[in-house]
Structure 1
Amino acid sequence: MPRRSPEGAGADRAGKSDKGGASGDAAADVAACKELLRRGSKSFAAASLLLPERVRDPVAVVYAFCRVADDEVDEGIGGLGAVRALERRLDRACAGTPEEGPVDRALARVMAERALPRVFLEALLEGLQWDAEGRRYATLSALNAYAARVAGAVGAVMAVLMDTRSEEALARACDLGVAMQLTNVARDVGEDARRGRLYLPEAWLREEGMDPDAWLARPLFDARVGRVVARLLGAAEALYRRADAGIAMLPRDCRPAIRAASLIYADIGRVVVARRLDSVTGRAVTSKGRKAWLLMQALASPTPEVRGGGDAPPLAETRFLVEAR
């Protein structure tokens, strides 16, 4: 569920629907959220099918809010005004007096029923604010701080919705979210650049003899960019390996879905490598057949065999999420 995938752009329109009156119908609200999930992210939607229903429904609700928030900042009223409006919506949902619409109503129920720390969603909105401000990231640590907010926070949400709140499990869940976001960044280099955005660590570009501003003004692929993309995928892969240790900490019936999500997102990196690390002139896509094969692999072996890593401390950039549990 990491941010900045353009799949399902504009899906927030469903979040404004007002079927069901002031109090709404809980089942209809969740159904609307599931539709946002189905249209908004094919990779995450595929993995979520493996979740037990007790988790699948609240996950769809939180995803829907994330999707709405993303689209409001990128395509709605936009900018910091959109972030402020989203903060007010979150305030009302947390207070139990949500704005009208299925997403807000469903979110209010989930926040109350699951004791979901609002810090997680506040972190997401802070990450969206950074986007609205046009922030760029000098170092991997700075990029990790962004990824912690727009994706690590979602990993923490997932763990809590699975009734898993140990420090170790939340640390690994945040690792997985950050890994997925780094994969997104590596995949979307050209697409982001053409929108005037640069997420690659600028220090790495300079180490390759590149001027970030000059490259952003004329984004072209060459071996130097490829080396930076490879380096970012390496950082993501290290976090995927750490996150594998956390899957065994989840309820057994939740493990296949998280394993599938990890495999599918990590596979995007494989496609980028197969394209000779050129994510500037085109976008890496995992085929439906490949996703189906990875889903079957997750079902057959939901708990990866790992050696160590489960007790590694949280990333410095995600510690605030772990401590909010």
Structure 2
Amino acid sequence: MIITNEEGYPQALVDACQSDYELEPNEWRVTSLLKGPREAILERRHSHEITRDVSDMIWLLFGTSVHSLLERVPIGPLEFREERIKIPIGGYVLSGKFDSYDAGEKLLTDYKTCSVWQIINKRFDHWRQQLLIYAWMLEKIGFECNQARVMTLAKDHRRSLAKFEKGYPRKPGQAIPFTFSKKDFGDIEVWLIERFSEIARLEQLPDDQLPVCTPEERYNSGTKYAVMKKGKKRAVRLFDNAQAAQDHIAKGKGDFVEIRHGEDKKCMDYCVACEFCNYYKEKVEKHVQSA
């Protein structure tokens, strides 16, 4: 990846954005494996062409600084931190680096900087899957791990809202616990084998023939059907399906339905390989330019 510094940040911050870890051939990180296959493969293929500016990586730097501070905390007698594990699967190598593992408690801990809304909406499935894979990897090298937790650090937490708004987290940091069963380990092993089999097949395809990321992988906000009244710009009501919107009009509560297509937020703001993706160029970029 090419790191630029258009805003003139100190060189120390530029250096912090540079990764000093080089993947071996056919080595895949857990975090990459959890992305949509198109995004992950494009990112690997064009890694030396992708450009990012330091100013767009501020939250990455924030997360890195948090981990640096945690490294200064004394390590317990049965604790391991920032260890990288490599497990062969078929013709590939799965590579994962966890934050902390306590062999006494059989507990895996990961620290996540996130939006407070991720906590409010309980969007934890992706975190659980990542930690389950780390736990499975630990089990493979002889360390039992039947539980994990994410220690959250909500970067946009507002104390004023925490005092009065129902459901708003009281603190910017909290623990999100997970437990794992033998079935979980069996299921994730099957998923990993199938994922690498899929990658082996897709790596033979050119960029524009890779399967488009799913709406979930694109963080698509979902198409909405807006019931409108003539001469009004604001919707009377929004619906998730067309029939419900038409039924609302049949009750005399609107004149016509306006379709509002969902936005692909991942493509627009977070995918570093988007410039090499024909879906982005044809569906997202053109839509943004014409808006």
TM-score for both structures, normalised by structure 2 = 0.32
Bigger strand fraction: 2
The alignment's TM-score, normalised by the length of structure 1, stands at 0.30
- The higher-RCO structure (CA 8 Å, 6+ apart) is 1
